Amino acid sequence: MLALFGTALAVPVFTADRPEDVEVATAAWAAAEACSGRTPMAAAEVPIYRDLVDPEGPDGAADTTISAGLVELHLRPEADNAVLAHEVSHAWIHGADAWMVEGRAELLALCVAERIPDHVRFRHWGGQPPLPDDIRTWTSAVDSFDELSSAEVEAYYVNSQRLFEAIGLVIPPERFWADLDSTEALYEELRARDGGLLVLEALFDVRSQRAALGDPDRDGLTTLYETLGGTDPYSWDTDGDGWWDGSTGYPDHAIVIPRDGSVVCSPWRPPGAERIDLHGGGNLHGHDTAGERWPDSTLKRGVRMSPNHAEHPGGMWFAVESDGVEDLVPNPLCRVHERYTLRDLTGGLAEPLAEFDTHLLEFFDLLEEDFGAAPRRAGIELRDRYSHLARFGDMKGPVTVEVPASVIRSAGELEQLDFLAANIAAAFRFGFEPALTDMAASAAFAWITTRTPVVGEPYVAAERELIRDYVKRARRCDDGWIGLAEWRC
């Protein structure tokens, strides 16, 4: 251990009136060492005081000196552990202007939270507030609480974090967490690195900074970050895998919660389980996604993103509590795909559900191949309480079709599950008639693609003459069904 006048390059002894503060600060220090790969200087003993009471002031403050490093920590009485982790991070990041310090300290605190989630729950910042001025004019975090509005202070914090999140793609960790104690030191590092010129151009003036730190696709990543990282700043999901570009750290069996408000369910369960515990995660800004829980849920439980959550950048996922996907088996009451969710709400249709799902997937794929990506996700629910097909929702947003158990059973007995699947898949693409049971156009598509006679109880309500008319018109159309569906003939 290297010691000098009561300072040390080792874990300091934290002291506080609250034992929990000592425990969290000690754990945060160890996690920050692992994140940064280095040990900073600190006083041999670092007291933690909860003595900040100014309602207009900061939630926390770290006292540091050039000779001793971290000396004291100050918090509001009500400040949470994420604030404490941020202030501990200032042992590594201090000594420069606020715009160079606060963003990196927040990123280090985020890494700490990911390593010790039982101690620190990190909440991502809310929206993407525009910079009030050139970020380089933000020289003192403490003074800014007296000189600026709370919204302006938050904007500087948020944009500093997001700026250095992108810079972290350019400057390697051993230099990123080192003492970049001046603007010129940062510029020198950037000039020496691939991608550094893009960052320097982004810093040119406040207009360039606002453009670079914007998030037009609302995936939680800035335009600068996506440009440096090789993803599309205007696509929430660049590679089309269903996960937003800013998603990280999710388990293999996690399910994305769609931003459009459509329902998803867990396609997995522990062997033999009739009820499951679900937990959430993600980086939905302004929300404690790691704190989301749906305990003791049924196998058919649906999860959706609220309109309030959907207003914020980033995304959310949920998963079954387990040690890993290898400890799970398929849930017989739930199927989740990119284009639709299928749930058996009766609890007794697992066998026809599996076959029905196979046909649905086939026809959703066929429709996408012929007509391009679907404009919305679909929800399909098998229920007991209806005697006919029913739909709920605005065709401009998520739509749920409720399929009676009697219809599924009858279609299965008549070997017409493929026809029913084609009919419903087509209805989501081409729209529903005023009464859903009068889906002549969709039924015509189903007849053409499956060559299934339109007979049996499930289709009594469909007007067969109108269906035959659609079929005849499709045969006369040069482009067949595609031309008819696109109203070219």
194-233 pLDDT, tens digit per residue, is 999 999 999 999 999 999 999 999 898 999 999 999 999 9
Q: Tell how far CA 105 is from the center of its chain.
A: 23
Together in a domain, 303 and 428: no
SS3 277: strand
- Report the pLDDT value the prediction gives residue 323, as an integer from 0 to 100: 75
117 lies in a domain? yes
Q: Is the pLDDT of residue 171 over 90?
A: yes
Q: How many domains does the chain have?
A: 3
Torsion angles phi and psi, residue 172, rounded to 5: -65, 155
* CA–CA distances in Å: residue 411 to residues 363, 421, 424: 16, 10, 13
Together in a domain, 44 and 156: yes
Together in a domain, 320 and 362: no
Domain final residue, candidates 179, 194, 224: 179
Q: Which residues contact 468 (CB under 8 A, 6 or more apart)?
A: none
- Bridge-based pairing of strands 378-383 and 340-344 is parallel
486 vs 136, higher pLDDT: 136
Average pLDDT over every residue of 29-41? 95
Together in a domain, 487 and 363: yes
- Report the pLDDT value the prediction gives residue 297, as an integer from 0 to 100: 93
Find out whether 123 and 143 touch, Cβ atoms under 8 Å. Answer: no
> What does the pLDDT look like over 261-300, one tens digit per residue?
899 999 999 999 999 999 998 888 877 777 789 999 999 9
Together in a domain, 27 and 164: yes
185 lies in a domain? no
Together in a domain, 325 and 376: no
Together in a domain, 55 and 119: yes
Q: Which of 216-230, 300-314, 469-483 has the lowest mean pLDDT?
A: 469-483
Together in a domain, 306 and 369: no
Together in a domain, 293 and 438: no
Together in a domain, 365 and 387: yes
Hey, how many other C-beta atoms are within 10 angstroms of the C-beta on 396?
8
Domain final residue, candidates 316, 331, 346: 331
What does pTM read for this prediction? 0.80
Q: Which of 87-96, 349-358, 440-449 has the lowest mean pLDDT?
A: 440-449
Q: What DSSP line would sit under 328-362, residue for residue?
A: -EE-TTEEE-SSEEEEESSS--HHHHHHHHHHHHH
SS3 62: strand
222 lies in a domain? no
Domain final residue, candidates 304, 331, 358: 331
462 lies in a domain? yes
Together in a domain, 27 and 173: yes
Together in a domain, 80 and 141: yes
327 lies in a domain? yes
213 lies in a domain? no
Q: Is residue 476 classed exposed, middle or buried when 0-12, 13-18 and 19+ CB atoms within 10 A define those classes?
A: exposed
- The rounded percent of the chain whose pLDDT value lies above 70 is 83
Q: Is the pLDDT of residue 461 over 50?
A: no
Q: Which of 24-38, 329-343, 371-385 has the lowest mean pLDDT?
A: 371-385
192 lies in a domain? no
441 lies in a domain? yes
Please provide the average confidence, as pLDDT, over all residues in the chain: 85
Provide the domain limits for residue 257: 248-331
